[in-house]
Amino acid sequence: MESPVTVRPARVEDATAMARMLVGSWQETYRSLMPDRVLDDPGLVAARERFWTTALIDERYRANRIAVAERDGAVIGVAMAGPPQSPEPRWSLHLYVLYVLAADHGSGAGAALLNAVVAPNESAALWVADPNPRAQAFYQKHGFVPDGAMQVEDGVREIRMVRTSGDPGQGGTRP
């Protein structure tokens, strides 16, 4: 029997484990979507560790919500949501990060992380790789729908998905 997954607020001492987990998840998820030179950059883990350390201690991120999912003391997922970078009347939060290692997909870790950083009744937006049918289906299950916006970030095509306030899941409606 598998050990249970626990979700809790992230702490600065988690930064190294969060960075390693995130880079591992990117390598699993984006191998065919992002250049190998980016995914295999020997400095990527250190750069992500610096990011997480800053996000967890810097006053600029104080309004953000950051959580980790653990199994047997090992970080298997991370999530971060916070205010949108530019004011947006249709949603109050932006989901900036939500990753779970592939071995733990379907464990409930993703849903628990999402709920830890974005309450089910909160309006939110996010960018998700396209194509990434598994992630898009996960977000749709939690009430997010594509709004037609698209961007290319680090060579990865992304679509924006949004959830309006009071529409926490099971399909949602177009905003």
- For the chain, the domains span 5-119
Q: Considering only residues 127 and 168, tell me which one the structure prediction assigns the higher pLDDT.
A: 127
Q: Which CATH number among 3.40.50.720, 3.90.700.10, 3.40.630.30, 3.30.470.20 corresponds to the domain 5-119?
A: 3.40.630.30
> From residue 2, how far is each of 95, 102, 140, 141 by CA, in Å?
28, 15, 27, 24
Kindly state the average pLDDT of the residues 73-90. Answer: 90
Residue with tokens 């709920």: 115
Please name which of 81, 75, 161 lies closest in space to residue 119, comparing C-alpha atoms.
81
Please name which of 45, 11, 161 lies closest in space to residue 95, comparing C-alpha atoms.
161
Residue with tokens 């971060």: 80
Say if residue 174's pLDDT is above 50.
no
pLDDT attached to residue 29: 84
Condensed to tens digits (0 to 9), the pLDDT of residues 156-171 reads 899 999 998 754 444 3
Q: DSSP code of 31?
A: T
- Give the DSSP H/E element, type plus range, for residue 36: helix 36-39
